[in-house]
Structure 1
């Protein structure tokens, strides 16, 4: 008769301990969850938003007779905007303008938009890189907290890892286990019960999306992403070593030289031309070379910035099976390096697919709509969790769930935190600190119970 409660007590204590951690971590991560969901949901539509608010720069009327030569378009841009040619982006569609990126005297870059049919300069904007506009640049920086430097990057990394553990603990708390919980519909219409049901229901339906978005966002992080990059490269499952070993290379990585490149290639060095002397190939000739090679429309062509440099054509369309990078010797016009998605290793391909899905690109509008609904659900779940806590908290107190009296539970969670730290170092570090605090509290409570005040 006594065996049932003996087994049930640790289970109940573990439930309370997980609930306590879920509660504390949830309050900490909640603002980050909302920030990531809102900014990520907006960024899904960056191309559409940029087109709506910059039509006079991006959209042109197609004309008979074909487009002007790239050298003519870049010359018109340089005549209107003093500086050094950085890259040329041919029109991606018949009704799209050409873009010419120019480096200013202060080292910054601007984009000059040119009508490809008439060579008329349509206007100039500050170069926001892959974001496409200053507004989307701000959204992207907020999404990654880059405004507060390396600390912001690590905050977001820790928050992403905690989001995964919050999903795991949330599913554990939701799981029925023979009790009258685990609802899959919102049953209560008012009060704290409504917010509890909303939190649980949106959480259980959005759990997979949260884990997916967190995991596919982590490759950009410093600690987790850096280690994953090194392991992927070392295993030859990203971009095998010696890919361009027969050619000279520079010390500048592709991630710095190009506005956008495949994740696994960001730290790889730019190639150099086979010589630093001779007559450089003309822009028109290089454009013919890359287009004859079958590169997908929408590519960017970076021009050499030094006598040793190369021309680099790169494209990352929504359909990532067409992404490609081509390096061309600036003197001979020889293609030195040409790789697409199929040339990457298993993890390199997986990362590209994950990033494309994460950004709502892989499957077009359907991808955007599904992720938009997931972002809305994440905000609703976070708001519901915050209101649920606000309504139940005692006056003047945080309302943290009580610590279980069984001191073995915090010890168990400490072991779990070490295991979690293997996969998510920053999460593991914060979990260890939290577990140590819990252990100290548990030991203090145990002493008080053993030696109650007289």
Structure 2
């Protein structure tokens, strides 16, 4: 079994190593650059004007006057505090998934400070969006997502295999390591793996939760176990309109201390822009107290406004409510405190993976793990280069190692491979590719 683990670890390093290396480098750059982005876009994000902020309606109308009639008003993120700008966000044809066009409005003077494309719940600006795309899919769209899923699928197995190999070989060649560049590289490769092993397992697990194929498996498991993240329903009571939210068995959280279903109807706003102030007031009255929030108007008749907190630092504030546009009563809510433990852990895990949960200490920790992973990958290739087989030579293959197992061991190895291939489809497909290459090498070795 030790020989099988050795060969599999080698194959993962040789064939998946480049993808792991790219993911490590781009991920490290991503978590280290929020402060750089804040400096690059300081003129858009901040303002020196002082005084009372104008109503959100005025800020929205100023943005609409600048952008024209084409783009559709999508959401507003009020200025989080004094000296910061409001984001009025629009959608328009040609934009990618989770992208919107944001106009940055001075809440005091109504001056338009900037016009940029923003991405995702965190509102990432163009500089970091490029890094995010590079880390997520190499800027190749849905096809490119397979690269990051391949890296995440194998990283945890490579880590566990490396730990086993380290403890199996830790007492060998200690004296020789001082004289042998290959053994010296192997020693540092193993030590780094031990030091950051828990972090690598964490990166692999959290990366898989939002992957394409394995992420779907995770969602199926969570649904079966009742670990779905609660969400709101945007469908108004008694309405026949569609629900643009993500409903489900945990979608509704009616009642409770912040339910305003019984409050007196408020005057209907004369325009959508005026509705933002009424909805913001209702949200504050309903317990939405984060300084970072997003307000979305209804997209169709029979739907509610949505207000959600977007502060993913610690303590996490991601409560979401639906607000009736006629009465400004809260018709549905999903509070983070009510989330199942697994849903909370996934939320925290993803945010920690992105380096935003605990601020700069989180950034430094993720960057250190990324740098260590980058170094380990480079050392792994150095080890291979220093001991690469001569031209035409065929060393022991994965097939050799598998055939050396007992019959129960072979069956167990196959069963594990099939199970992992089903749970992690990209891993399964790549394992088949490994085996195709390996069988060719094995047959060549037999002929030789």
| TM-score, with structure 1 as normaliser | 0.80
| Secondary structure at the counterpart of residue 307 of structure 2 | strand
Superposed displacement of residue 172, structure 1: 1.5
Find out whether 1:158 has 2:142 as its counterpart. no
Aligned to 1:299: 293
Aligned to 2:101: 110
Aligned to 2:307: 313
Superposed displacement of residue 66, structure 1: 1.7
- Give the Cα separation in 1 of the matches to 2:4 and 2:93: 60
346-355 or 45-54, which deviates more = 45-54
Find out whether 1:218 has 2:205 as its counterpart. no
Describe the superposition over 1:344-363 as per-residue Cα deviations: whole angstroms up to 9, x where unpaired.
Answer: 22321121111121111222
Unaligned runs of 5+ in 2: 253-260, 262-267
| Secondary structure at the counterpart of residue 250 of structure 1 | coil
Find out whether 1:180 has 2:138 as its counterpart. no
Find out whether 1:33 has 2:2 as its counterpart. no
| Secondary structure at the counterpart of residue 322 of structure 1 | coil
Q: Which of 84, 87, 90 is the aligned partner of 1:99?
A: 87
Q: Which of 339, 346, 350 is the aligned partner of 1:344?
A: 339
Indicate if the aligned counterparts of 1:417 and 1:435 stay in contact, CA closer than 8 A.
Answer: no
| Secondary structure at the counterpart of residue 316 of structure 2 | helix
Indicate if the aligned counterparts of 2:177 and 2:187 stay in contact, CA closer than 8 A.
Answer: yes
Find out whether 1:334 has 2:329 as its counterpart. yes
Indicate if the aligned counterparts of 2:3 and 2:401 stay in contact, CA closer than 8 A.
Answer: no
- Give the Cα separation in 2 of the matches to 1:428 and 1:125: 40
234-243 or 426-435, which deviates more = 234-243
Aligned to 1:368: 363
Change (3 A) 1:69 1:93: same
Aligned to 1:126: 117
Write out aligned runs for 1:256-267 (5 A): none
- Give the Cα separation in 1 of the matches to 2:244 and 2:285: 28
Indicate if the aligned counterparts of 1:24 and 1:400 stay in contact, CA closer than 8 A.
Answer: no
| Secondary structure at the counterpart of residue 158 of structure 1 | helix
Indicate if the aligned counterparts of 1:102 and 1:109 stay in contact, CA closer than 8 A.
Answer: yes
The CA RMSD measured in Å over matched residues stands at: 3.5
Describe the superposition over 1:235-286 as per-residue Cα deviations: whole angstroms up to 9, x where unpaired.
Answer: 22224699789845635455xxxxxxxxx99x979xxxx9xxx867722111
Superposed displacement of residue 26, structure 1: 0.7
Aligned to 1:250: 242
Unaligned runs of 5+ in 1: 1-13, 255-263
Superposed displacement of residue 159, structure 1: 2.2
Change (3 A) 1:74 1:405: closer
| Secondary structure at the counterpart of residue 76 of structure 2 | strand
Q: Tell me how many residue pairs correspond in the alignment.
A: 416
Change (3 A) 1:61 1:423: same
Change (3 A) 1:196 1:399: farther
Change (3 A) 1:251 1:154: farther
Change (3 A) 1:233 1:415: closer
| Secondary structure at the counterpart of residue 91 of structure 1 | coil
Change (3 A) 1:440 1:192: closer
Write out aligned runs for 1:381-400 (5 A): 381-396=376-391
Indicate if the aligned counterparts of 1:50 and 1:132 stay in contact, CA closer than 8 A.
Answer: no
- Give the Cα separation in 2 of the matches to 1:388 and 1:150: 34
188-197 or 281-290, which deviates more = 188-197
Change (3 A) 1:240 1:234: farther
- Give the Cα separation in 1 of the matches to 2:444 and 2:177: 41
Aligned to 2:264: none
- Give the Cα separation in 1 of the matches to 2:176 and 2:55: 62
Aligned to 1:168: 160
